[in-house]
Chain A
Amino acid sequence: MSKVFILAEHNGDSINQSTAKVLTAAKQLNADTIDMVLFAPNVDLANELTQFEGVATVHVVTCDDNHDQLAASIAPTIADMAQGYSHVWGPSTTFGKDVMPRVAALMGVNQISDIMEVIDSNNYKRPIYAGNAIITVSTDSDHQVATVRTASYEADKTDGGSAEIKESSLETAAEHTSFVKLATGDSDRPDLQTAAKVISGGRGVGSKENFDMVFELADKIGAATGASRAAVDAGYVPNDMQVGQTGKIIAPDLYMCFGISGAIQHLTGIKDAGTIVAINKDADAPIFEVADIGLVGDLFKVIPEMTEKL
């Protein structure tokens, strides 16, 4: 029977929702045991994890000097703790993608990346070729190291859990790697990866200044903001707004995009959205092939009109 070990993730002051999504996927394994590990500067962050129903033990490993953010520092501890587990899973976020392959290498197995569907405890579906094909994969390994594609799962919302906390401190901090800084876009808007509504802009927005219109509309309806790779490459907006194959994969209820033509790499990032709305002046733009609602029009007229009407 399955024993699952989940790598939890925090963002400095709370647990990242990716953790609850991995838990949802893990519960589909009908496992005997689900335990978690959290690397954090202090133990308090783990309290949130003990609330999840079905989690038996939460291991908290306290780390100094931001070593909780460094894959080389935490992977050996994870691999060591995970020896008795059949499934060792993390989120398919940049944090999980950085760490989990190190864990897999230490445990001598290939990793299953981006699980989007659990068929049973040995068989899964995952996307390849930017989501243009879905493969069913299986493994004979005793330790199935995997990342879970968070956009494919709802966050586990159970409470009433009573997991036991086991505390230790990090003993595998890497000497060859150190954390220098983290620069984040200081935004009061909802988090792009978990927001119910996302407003997004592409190259068609034309400039950094013009993006203010996009932000204004987003603020009016309480949406997070995203962008295409083209808009990020052009320097209109920071990288953390990029949606797509190599950016964020998101699944909001509403995704509304302006001036995005719809390269396959971008579509990969939004195809789990509930309703896709596309506004583009080019009626032949590929984005209209996937949009639930399309409007051919000039975004410089459409955005102000929408902002006014809402």
Chain B
Amino acid sequence: MKILVAIKRVVDYNVRVQVKPDGSGVAIDGVKMSINPFDEIAVEEALRIKEQGKADEVVVVTIGDDASQQQLRTAMAMGADRAILVNSEQAVQPLQAAQVLLKVIEKEQPGLVITGKQAIDDDNNQTPQMLATLWNRPQATFVSEIEFTDKGLQATREVDAGLQTIEVELPAVISTDLRLNEPRFVKLPDIMKAKKKPLETLAIDDLASERSNHRIEASQYEPPQPRQKGVMVESVEELVNMLKDKGLLS
């Protein structure tokens, strides 16, 4: 079985992004970029499945500009076998990303697609579900555990009420939650090795020339409303009295 892992280059999760003063976007020039953390978990999971002998190839794909090669190389340093860059200068939105990834699926015929549940830049949480829909295959979103079965796989999903388990036939799309695994650290020799692994570049218009429009347009960026400065208290007694005065505790 081949596993396709879709990743995205995003601002590193430790960076506190700032809105530009003119409200035209967020300032990301020169900040550290990384693989979206949920996608890194997806890469790790694919590698573990391969290491258990249940898959024979892990292919990573991303849609982005040339700089995204860096994240594909990192994924290959983790252990992915090869990479595909779908080159696009313009950022794609979830539906368009799903349409492009579907073309990659048609080409690669994977038995399983794993990707992060959301990218931590636009926080959309849409692409995996849309991809499963266009592909007409099952989805297991927000997954924290996978177990292969005769029928396909059982996925444990992190839902508001607790943990939901569903069973899906393969091929399927899985979107990862945080507790699925802890991604491995990349070692220097592996970074060297990853430089020799194949990285194929496809132009987005050659791959998926007809993509639906209906973009969501962003017109104005603003920082969140700051909370009013709080007060520090010195004792539990003072704290309790203050909360009682506010009517929050009785």
Contacts from A to B (Cβ < 8 Å): 11, 69-72, 75, 93-95, 97-99, 101-102, 104-106, 108-114, 123, 127-141, 174, 176-185, 193, 197, 221, 229, 232-233, 238-240, 245-246, 248, 253-254, 264-265, 271, 274-277, 288, 290-297, 302, 305-306, 309-310
Contact = CB atoms under 8 A, between A and B. Distances in A.
Contact of B133 (A11, A102, A137, A183): A102
Contact of A133 (B162, B222, B243): B222
Contact of B141 (A97, A180, A310): A97
Given A71-B139, A239-B158, A292-B227, A277 B243 contact: yes
A113 B13 CA distance: 20
B214 A110 contact: yes
B112 to A, nearest CB: 13
Interface stretch (B77-85, B185-193, B230-238): B230-238
Given A101-B125, A176-B168, A110 B16 contact: no
Contacts of B219: 123, 135-138
Contacts of A232: 179
Contact of B17 (A129, A174, A248): A129
Nearest to A146: B216
B120 A130 contact: yes
Contact of B239 (A123, A265, A295): A295
Given A133-B26, A134-B223, 15 more contacts: A69-B164, A72-B139, A93-B160, A101-B94, A102-B130, A104-B126, A105-B95, A110-B214, A136-B222, A193-B160, A233-B178, A240-B163, A246-B177, A306-B239, A310-B249
B227 A288 contact: no
Interface of B: 11, 13, 16-19, 26, 93-96, 98, 117-118, 120-130, 132-134, 137-139, 141-142, 144, 152, 154, 157-169, 172, 177-179, 212, 214-224, 227-228, 230-237, 239-240, 242-243, 246, 248-249
The prevalent SS among residues of A at the interface is mixed
Contact of B224 (A99, A132, A177): A132
Given A109-B95, A127-B224, A102 B132 contact: yes
Contact of B95 (A110, A123, A197): A110
Contacts of A245: 120, 123
**Residue of B126, B134, B223 with most partner-chain A CB within 10 A:** B126
Contacts of B152: 176
B129 A98 contact: yes
A123 B220 CA distance: 11
A110 B233 contact: no
**Residue of B16, B120, B178 with most partner-chain A CB within 10 A:** B178
Nearest to B246: A275
Contacts, number: 250
A195 to B, nearest CB: 13
A131 to B, nearest CB: 6
A132 B179 contact: no
B221 A113 contact: no
A101 B212 CA distance: 15
B137 A104 contact: no
A240 B161 contact: yes
A226 B221 CA distance: 31
B74 to A, nearest CB: 21
B230 A309 contact: no
Nearest to B118: A246
Contacts of A95: 159-160
Contacts of A134: 221-224
Contact of A248 (B120, B160, B230, B237): B160
Nearest to B213: A140
Contacts of B132: 72, 102
Given A113-B123, A133-B17, A295 B133 contact: no
Contact of B129 (A93, A101, A221, A229): A101
Contacts of A110: 93-96, 126, 214-216
A108 B234 CA distance: 57
A267 to B, nearest CB: 10
A292 B121 contact: no
5 contacts: A94-B141, A94-B142, A127-B224, A135-B219, A239-B158
A104 B128 CA distance: 12
A112 B216 contact: yes
A127 B137 CA distance: 30
A292 B248 contact: no
- Which 4 pairs of residues, A with B, have the shortest CB-CB distance? A101-B129, A184-B162, A105-B133, A105-B130
